Amino acid sequence: MPELPEVESLRRILVRTAVGRTIVSVRIGERRLRRRVTADFGGAVAGRRITKLSRRAKYLIVELDGDYVMLVHLGMSGSLTHRHDGFDAEDFDPRHDHLEFSLDDASQLVYNDPRRFGMVRLVERAALASTAELKGLGPEPLSREFNANYLAEKARGRKAAIKNLIMDQRIVAGIGNIYASEILFRAGVRPTRRAGRVTRSEIDKIAAAVPVILRAAIGSNGTTFRSYRDSRGQPGRFAARLRVYGRDGKPCYTCSTEIKNVVVGQRASFYCPKCQR
C-alpha cells in the first residue's frame, strides 16, 4: 500500500505539472471504488482549475477553484499518472483506468486501480477536516507536533507493540508497514516490544529515525514492489535502500545475522535479532 513517502512524492511531481491546469472533462470508467464515485462527480469537476496540491497522511488533496477539493487515496494498488504525448503506459492495463481527467493542455490525469481499494471523492472545502477519512488523524510525522516528548506520552503505559503504536493513524499520520519496520531497525528497537516498556532513550531514537527514513524515501520517490508508480509512471527507488523490510532469511547489512519475520498486528514485521533489542 502506498504510504506517506509515495503520496508526498506524487504530490511534489504533480505540483510542477498539474497545478494551474483546468479540467476540461471527466471520463468515468468504473464508479465502484472504495467509495462509489457519485453521479454528479464529473459535472462538478469539469471546468474547474487545479489551484493547489496538498497531502494529509496517505491522502492526496487536489484543491480546485470554487468550493470543492478532491480527496484521493491510492488504496492497495492505485496510481494517479499525468499522461501526455510520449507517456509510456505499457505498465497500466486500460481496463483499470477508472477515472480520466482531460486537462486544457491536452494531457490527462488518470486514476488507475486494479484492486479498486482506493477512492477519489469530492468534498466541500469547509468540511474537509471533519470528513470520516481525515477526522481523528494524529500529527504529521514531519511536523513540529510530532517529537520525542509527544511519542513518549503516547507510549506511556501502552501494552500494544511499539510497531503498532507508530502505525496507528490516530497517533501519527501516514506511517505504514514498510517504513515502521525501517524506522525501528534504525532505532535499534524490536517491533514486538510493548510500547510502554520502550525506554525514553529508545523513544528518542525512534522519533529521530522517523524523519530520516521518511525524507530518504521521499527523495527516492517511495518504494515499489509491484504496482506503485508515480505520476510519470515510474517506480519508486527506495526498495534498494531497505535494510530489513522484505529481507527475511537474508543477512543483516550491519551484523550479518539472519533477518527474521514475525507477525505483529496481522502485519509481517521484519527485524534483526541482534541489532534490535
Neighbours of 67 (CB within 10 A): 12
Is 2 a known active-site residue?
A: yes
Residue indicated by cell numbers 501494552: 159
3 carries an active-site annotation: yes
Phi, psi of 151 (to 5 degrees): -65, -40
- From the number of C-beta atoms within 10 Å of its C-beta (0-12, 13-18, 19+), residue 40 rates as exposed
Choose, from 2, 5, 141, 191, the residue flagged as catalytic. Answer: 2
Which residue out of 3, 6, 63, 202 is catalytically annotated?
3
Contact 163, 157 (CB under 8 A): no
Catalytic residue among 11, 58, 83, 163: 58
Q: Is 58 a catalytic residue?
A: yes
DSSP state letters, 49-117: BEEEEEEETTEEEEEESSSEEEEEE-TTT-EEEEE-TT---TTS-GGGEEEEEEETTS-EEEEE-TT--
Quote the CA–CA distance of 229 and 236 in Å, as a whole number. Answer: 7
Number of helices and strands in the chain (H, E): 6, 10
Sign of CA dihedral 221, 226, 232, 234: positive
Dihedral (CA of 128, 215, 228, 8) sign: positive
Interatomic CA distance for residues 260 and 247, integer angstroms:
8
Q: Which entry of 12, 31, 194, 267 is annotated as an active-site residue?
A: 267
6 is catalytic: no
What residues are labeled active site? 2-3, 58, 267
